[in-house]
Chain A
Amino acid sequence: MSEFEPKIVAFVCNWCTYAGADLTGTSRIKYASNVKIVRFPCTGRIDFMLLLKAFSEGADGIIVSGCHPNDCHYTSGNFHARRRWLIFRSLLNFLGIDVTRIQFTWVSAAEGAKWAEIVNSTVTKVRELGPYTEYRKAADYVASQEKEVFNG
């Protein structure tokens, strides 16, 4: 059996982290290829439902990243996002969803090296945690029910 390769989805802001990740590439810094980057106008735009959708569609880990506080292109998007994440994280933890699989970070456009470090450390952590089948099982609930009904 081949080694488990974690699937990581990164939700990043256009102005800082996306540019930062671009810098990682132009600086020729190598980092894990497990990450799929989704670009958003701002961290304030990252709906919490997107994180849940990522998990139910097969992500094993999630990175959410944007501009450092006070650096937001839209002045306050990241401040609002920070509050939302705090509440969301606490709620997920209360529900027993594994919040250690979600990495929240600030990566500026100049921090190409930090981006590589974040991705690598997240991949290592999620590799240790293994695939997040627990949550996906909930998603498979309807399919498994139907199987039970039709197979007697």
Chain B
Amino acid sequence: MVDTMMEEKATASTKVFSSELSQKVAGLLQSGDVQLAIGYEKGTKRPRPCFISETDDADKLIFDEHCTGNLAVYLTKKELIGDSKVAVTASYFALRSILRLLTENQVKLEKLVVLTVTSEGKLIQFETAEDIAAYIKSTPVPAREDDKVLLEKLNAMTREERWAFWSDELSKCFKCYACRAACPMCYCTKCIVEENRPQWIQPWASTLGNIEWHINRAMHMTGRCSDCGACGSACPLDLPVHLLSKKIVEEVSESFGMDANDTLQGGNALSTYKPEDKETFIK
């Protein structure tokens, strides 16, 4: 019995993994450092999240520029994580989210192994939050051209045209809340849309209720959003809902000088203030 176990262990350790990342994760799982690894595997159209607890499965792991879903969303799911220590392969934006979750005391660094792979294919394991902050500051922000084009188009519109655009787009929303489920910062156990005393937002899908919901979601993301766009890509109707929080990210950085990468200093944009904040719109 002991012999076979020894033999199995020996075969596992001699198994050749296809990438440095798989090898690293396999090592972590085998040594018992982590009990679960969250990463990406090959999907039908684009990479999809995968959850690995067996050493051999580590070979499935991939990481490239197409891995855009924000895996930080799983880190606050108690039913998934429990008490275990977790390894996560984080994209650029997921790193931002992890920093945010750390400042909001939603995750503990000692319960995490944060990994990323650079565009040159180099595997990095982060030791401290400062390391993560330094990495995202020195790495160029992955560009999303489609968003830029649409944002410019919207900014060039008149107010009436923008209203026509958004009320039409948001009238299609049927409140599946995929945007909420995909967002790492939406970790509240009771969301405002479930609040019914008072009923702030109509629970059924109607243009007004949808607009109110998306305004609320964007407002609650103020200064916390990592601008990953996961809410927009999660939308089954492809509504550009991520542009709302993107707009706020821009406004926060412009008006309060708080960059999305500056997550370690200062509080939330809306829970701090400066006496000299701009008030040109106030009479």
**Which 4 A-B residue pairings sit nearest by Cβ, starting from the closest?**
A96-B163, A96-B162, A79-B273, A141-B207
0/1 per residue, A83-95, Cβ < 8 Å to B?
1111111111111
Describe B's contact surface by its main secondary structure. Answer: helix
Contact between chains at B275 and A96 (CB < 8 Å): no
Q: Which of these, A69, A70, A86, contacts B251 with CB under 8 Å? A: A86
Apart from A96-B167, A138-B171, A141-B171, 5 more pairs, CB < 8 Å:
A48-B219, A70-B275, A82-B282, A90-B247, A95-B215
Q: Which of these, B208, B251, B271, B279, contacts A138 with CB under 8 Å? A: B208
Contact between chains at B273 and A80 (CB < 8 Å): yes
Q: Which of these, B166, B206, B281, contacts A96 with CB under 8 Å? A: B166
What total of chain B residues lie within 8 Å of the partner, measured CB to CB?
44
With a cutoff of 8 Å between Cβ atoms, the chain B residues found around residue A90 in the complex are 247-248, 251, 255
Q: Does A113 contact B (CB under 8 A)?
A: no
With a cutoff of 8 Å between Cβ atoms, the chain A residues found around residue B273 in the complex are 76, 79-80, 82-83
Distance of B126 from chain A, by nearest CB (Å): 31
With a cutoff of 8 Å between Cβ atoms, the chain A residues found around residue B112 in the complex are none
Contact between chains at B244 and A91 (CB < 8 Å): yes
Contact between chains at B244 and A82 (CB < 8 Å): no
Known contacts A80-B273, A141-B208; is-contact A96 B251 (Cβ 8 Å): no
Q: Does B164 contact A (CB under 8 A)?
A: yes
Q: Which one, A8-16, A27-35, A103-111, is touching chain B?
A: A103-111
Distance of B171 from chain A, by nearest CB (Å): 7
Distance of B166 from chain A, by nearest CB (Å): 5
Q: Does A98 contact B (CB under 8 A)?
A: yes
Seen from chain B, the residues whose Cβ lies within 8 Å of a Cβ on chain A are 154, 157, 159-167, 171, 200-201, 204, 206-208, 211-212, 215-216, 218-219, 222, 244, 247-248, 251-252, 255-256, 269-271, 273-275, 277-279, 281-283
Q: Which of these, B208, B270, B277, contacts A139 with CB under 8 Å? A: B208
Distance of B194 from chain A, by nearest CB (Å): 15
A sample of 7 inter-chain contacts (CB < 8 A) reads: A83-B256, A90-B247, A90-B248, A96-B161, A96-B162, A96-B166, A139-B207
With a cutoff of 8 Å between Cβ atoms, the chain A residues found around residue B160 in the complex are 96
Q: Which B residue's beta carbon lies closest to that of A145?
A: B206
With a cutoff of 8 Å between Cβ atoms, the chain A residues found around residue B281 in the complex are 85-86, 89, 104
Q: Which of these, A48, A76, A88, A106, contacts B282 with CB under 8 Å? A: A106
Describe A's contact surface by its main secondary structure. Answer: helix
Q: Which of these, B270, B278, B283, contacts A105 with CB under 8 Å? A: B283
Distance of B35 from chain A, by nearest CB (Å): 40
Known contacts A95-B215, A118-B283; is-contact A80 B161 (Cβ 8 Å): no
Contact between chains at B251 and A134 (CB < 8 Å): no
Q: Does A1 contact B (CB under 8 A)?
A: no
Q: Does A149 contact B (CB under 8 A)?
A: no
Contact between chains at B244 and A94 (CB < 8 Å): yes
Distance of B79 from chain A, by nearest CB (Å): 30
Known contacts A69-B275, A87-B248, A87-B252; is-contact A94 B283 (Cβ 8 Å): no
With a cutoff of 8 Å between Cβ atoms, the chain A residues found around residue B271 in the complex are 80
A23 to B208, CA, bound (A): 38
With a cutoff of 8 Å between Cβ atoms, the chain B residues found around residue A139 in the complex are 207-208
Q: Which B residue's beta carbon lies closest to that of A122?
A: B283
Q: Which of these, A56, A82, A84, contacts B279 with CB under 8 Å? A: A82
With a cutoff of 8 Å between Cβ atoms, the chain A residues found around residue B278 in the complex are 86
Distance of B259 from chain A, by nearest CB (Å): 16
A88 to B247, CA, bound (A): 11
Q: Which B residue's beta carbon lies closest to that of A143?
A: B206
Contact between chains at B252 and A95 (CB < 8 Å): no
Q: Which of these, B207, B244, B270, contacts A84 with CB under 8 Å? A: B270
- Kindly identify, within residues 40 to 79 of chain A, every residue whose CB is under 8 Å from any CB belonging to chain B: 48-49, 52, 56, 69-70, 76, 79
With a cutoff of 8 Å between Cβ atoms, the chain A residues found around residue B244 in the complex are 91, 94-95
Contact between chains at A95 and B255 (CB < 8 Å): no
A56 to B206, CA, bound (A): 13
Q: Does A97 contact B (CB under 8 A)?
A: yes
